[in-house]
């Protein structure tokens, strides 16, 4: 019995020792887990008091175990309200997983964690406490935040860009509206313009035509749009205009075009240039029918009047001549002087009438030429004695210079060219009070080159552009010589140009003037004449 008791006791002791060993191993195991586990965790009792923490917790929160154990766990949270709420929640729920919360370390460093809470219960289901694990998501949140900030920045940038774009679009819209208004305005002007307008694009096709053009050519605008010159040429009413252009639209200035009996157009073309690039051509069709009719009627009137006047003036001229020559009996000196004055006045009147008739013919296109091969040198020589006499009467020196011995013959209307020379030389004599008149004939390339130089009153700079206009006389010319008609240079210009020549002048007021004109000659003809 005693032995049995001893055996039982020793068995019990052995069992206790085994249990102690097991417990010891378990404690060591738990201790090692506590040390090893990288996840910070703590254990709190139902009152919220921290009872236990692991090594990772100590490291994470920077508290010593002795500093933090015994504290209310809410000390760990940044937001006390959130901590209080969590404390209340703990009583109701069994588990919280991954709740994001901001905690504070001992050194008040904020860390964002996802907390996981697990309720610990005893066998009867009573709450013994809570395990709380903290997963540090600060780096994740920082990364997330930086991403969000970047996204925000990017969004802000995009927003700015959007606003800028909207502003640009708004500006563009305003500009477009303005351009549209301008375009409408321009279109309205074009539509209501009294001149016909035809716009060709750079491919030479019609891009715009106004109603006036429609009316001129009796064709619808839509039938013109997009058509090239060759296509337009096929439209009968447009044919004369296209003929004027030729193969392409060249620069034309105020060319007359009679499309039918009742329509005379003055055609001009202007190249349309945008930023130094030609973008097309503008054809302006100005209706000059009325002006032309008036001009024609005026010319007819002048022509008829002049003809009617010339006959009696001729009769007066010959009657006076007979009286002056004594064919009707002797006259005394006083009578002779009166008659001479009357004769001179009549001569001036005849000249004026002749000038007017010439102008009328020019304007009517009836200034017919009878060109024949002539030697200009001889024509000048024939006229020179009269010029010399006139010059000598005014006490002027006059010189005739032929630069060449021989000049090519030219096909000219002798009478008309004589009139040109007469007008130019007489002007030189009339408007020169003292000095010299120099008449020169030369050859320049394929032209006979005539000039008459004087030392007269000259032409004021401001009036030079109008010197070849009808009835124009320089102010200083009117003051110095009252007899001019203002038609001589107009007639001269028309005659020279009708011969294919050019006329121009150089002048300095108070110093003198030199008028030049050229008459082209044919080299082949000259060669032929020389051979014959």
Partner 1 sequence: MKNKQFDISNIFQDQNKKVKGACAKAIFNYLKAKASEDDLKKIKEKIQSYGFNINLDKISPVKMYPIGLELAIIFSLSEVLNWKEKEIKELGRNVPKLSFIVKFFIKYLISLEKGYKSSPIYWKTHFNFGILETPEINKKEKYLILVLKDFSIHPLYCKFLEGYFETMAGFILGKRDVSCNETKCVYRGDNYHEFKIQW
508: region left, alpha or beta (phi > 0 left; psi from -120 to 50 alpha):
beta
121 SS3 class: strand
290 SS3 class: helix
Residue 52 lies near partner 1 (rule: CB under 8 A):
yes
Residue 51 lies near partner 1 (rule: CB under 8 A):
yes
Residue 72 lies near partner 1 (rule: CB under 8 A):
yes
Q: In whole angstroms, what is the distance from residue 95 CA to residue 349 CA?
A: 134
Beta strands in 233-360 (DSSP E): 255-260, 263-274, 277-287
Under 8 Å between Cβ of 511 and 457: no
Q: Which residues pair with 281 in a beta bridge?
A: 200, 271
Residue 46 lies near partner 1 (rule: CB under 8 A):
yes
- From the list 107-115, 124-132, 322-330, 430-438, the region that binds partner 1 by CB under 8 A is 124-132
Mask: binding to partner 1, 102-121, rule CB under 8 A, as x and -?
A: ------------------x-
Distance of closest approach, residue 70 Cβ to partner 1, in angstroms: 5
Residue of the chain from 37, 49, 282, 443 that contacts partner 1 (CB under 8 A): 49
- From the list 62-70, 159-167, 209-217, 341-349, the region that binds partner 1 by CB under 8 A is 62-70
Please identify, using beta-carbon distances, which residue of 64 and 415 lies nearer to partner 1: 64
Other C-beta atoms closer than 10 Å to the C-beta of 282 total: 15
Residue 461 lies near partner 1 (rule: CB under 8 A):
no
Residue 33 lies near partner 1 (rule: CB under 8 A):
no
Residue 48 lies near partner 1 (rule: CB under 8 A):
yes
Under 8 Å between Cβ of 401 and 424: no
Residue 191 lies near partner 1 (rule: CB under 8 A):
no
Residue 69 lies near partner 1 (rule: CB under 8 A):
yes
Distance of closest approach, residue 130 Cβ to partner 1, in angstroms: 11
Residue 128 lies near partner 1 (rule: CB under 8 A):
yes
Residue 89 lies near partner 1 (rule: CB under 8 A):
no
Residue 20 lies near partner 1 (rule: CB under 8 A):
yes
Residue 24 lies near partner 1 (rule: CB under 8 A):
yes
Residue 37 lies near partner 1 (rule: CB under 8 A):
no
Q: In whole angstroms, what is the distance from residue 61 CA to residue 133 CA?
A: 12
Under 8 Å between Cβ of 365 and 411: no
Please identify, using beta-carbon distances, which residue of 60 and 490 lies nearer to partner 1: 60
Supply the DSSP string of 302-360, one letter for each residue. Answer: HHHHHHHHHHHHHHHHHHHHHHHHTTTS---HHHHHHHHHHHHHHHHHHHHHHHHHHHH
Q: Give the CA angle between residues 444, 450, 451 to the nearest 5°.
A: 115
Distance of closest approach, residue 129 Cβ to partner 1, in angstroms: 6
Backbone angles phi, psi at 377, to 5 degrees: -60, -40
- From the list 64-72, 366-374, 383-391, 441-449, the region that binds partner 1 by CB under 8 A is 64-72
Residue of the chain from 2, 3, 38, 122 that contacts partner 1 (CB under 8 A): 122
Residue 41 lies near partner 1 (rule: CB under 8 A):
no
Distance of closest approach, residue 77 Cβ to partner 1, in angstroms: 16
N residues, the chain: 532
Distance of closest approach, residue 31 Cβ to partner 1, in angstroms: 7
Supply the DSSP string of 375-443, one letter for each residue. Answer: -HHHHHHHHHHHHHHHHHHTT-EEEEEESSS----EEE-HHHHHHHHHHHHHHHHHT-SSSEEEEEEEE
Residue 295 lies near partner 1 (rule: CB under 8 A):
no
Distance of closest approach, residue 20 Cβ to partner 1, in angstroms: 6
Residue 12 lies near partner 1 (rule: CB under 8 A):
no
Interface with partner 1 by CB under 8 A: which residues?
20, 23-24, 27, 30-31, 43, 45-49, 51-52, 64-66, 69-72, 120, 122, 126-129
């Amino acid at each position: 019995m005693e032995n049995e008791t001893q055996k039982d006791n020793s068995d019990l002791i052995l069992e206790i020792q085994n249990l102690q060993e097991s417990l010891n191993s378990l404690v060591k195991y738990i201790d090692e887990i506590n040390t090893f586990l990288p996840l910070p965790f703590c254990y709190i009792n139902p009152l919220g008091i921290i009872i236990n923490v692991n090594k990772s917790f100590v490291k994470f929160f920077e508290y010593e175990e002795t500093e933090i154990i015994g504290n209310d766990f809410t000390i760990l949270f940044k937001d006390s309200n959130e901590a209080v709420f969590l404390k209340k929640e703990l009583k109701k729920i069994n588990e919280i997983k991954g709740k994001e919360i901001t905690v504070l370390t001992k050194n008040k460093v904020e860390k964002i964690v996802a907390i996981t809470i697990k309720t610990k219960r005893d066998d009867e289901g009573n709450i013994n406490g809570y395990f709380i694990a903290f997963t540090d998501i600060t780096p994740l949140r920082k990364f997330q935040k930086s991403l969000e900030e970047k996204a925000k920045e990017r969004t802000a940038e995009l927003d700015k860009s959007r606003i800028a774009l909207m502003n640009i679009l708004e500006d563009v819209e305003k500009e477009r509206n303005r351009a549209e208004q301008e375009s409408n305005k321009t279109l309205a002007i074009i539509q209501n313009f009294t001149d016909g307008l035809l716009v060709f694009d750079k491919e030479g096709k019609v891009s715009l035509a106004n109603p006036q053009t429609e009316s001129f050519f009796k064709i619808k605008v839509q039938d013109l749009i997009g058509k090239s010159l060759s296509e337009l040429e096929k439209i009968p009413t447009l044919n004369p205009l296209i003929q004027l252009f030729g193969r392409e639209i060249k620069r034309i200035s105020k060319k007359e075009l009679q499309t039918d009996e009742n329509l005379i157009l003055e055609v001009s073309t202007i190249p349309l240039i945008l930023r130094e690039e030609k973008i097309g051509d503008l054809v302006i069709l100005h209706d000059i029918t009325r002006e032309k009719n008036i001009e024609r009627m005026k010319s007819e009137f002048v022509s008829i009047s002049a003809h009617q006047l010339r006959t009696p003036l001729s009769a007066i001229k010959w009657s006076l001549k007979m009286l002056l020559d004594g064919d009707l009996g002797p006259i005394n000196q006083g009578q002779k002087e009166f008659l001479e004055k009357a004769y001179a006045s009549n001569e001036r009147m005849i000249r004026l009438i002749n000038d007017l008739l010439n102008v009328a013919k020019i304007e009517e296109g009836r200034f017919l030429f009878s060109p024949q091969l002539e030697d200009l040198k001889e024509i000048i020589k024939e006229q020179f004695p009269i010029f010399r006499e006139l010059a000598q009467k005014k006490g002027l020196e006059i010189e005739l210079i032929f630069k060449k011995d021989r000049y090519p013959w030219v096909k000219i209307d002798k009478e008309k060219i004589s009139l040109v020379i007469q007008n130019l030389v007489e002007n030189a004599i009339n408007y020169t009070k003292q000095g010299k008149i120099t008449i020169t004939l030369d050859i320049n390339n394929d032209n006979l080159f005539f000039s008459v130089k004087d030392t007269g009153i000259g032409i004021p700079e401001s009036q030079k552009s109008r010197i070849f206009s009808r009835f124009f006389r320089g102010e200083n010319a009117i003051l110095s010589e009252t007899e001019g008609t203002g038609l001589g240079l107009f007639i001269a210009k028309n005659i020279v140009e009708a011969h294919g020549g050019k006329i121009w002048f150089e002048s300095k007021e108070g110093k003198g003037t030199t008028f030049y004109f050229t008459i082209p000659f044919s080299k082949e003809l000259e060669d032929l004449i020389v051979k014959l």
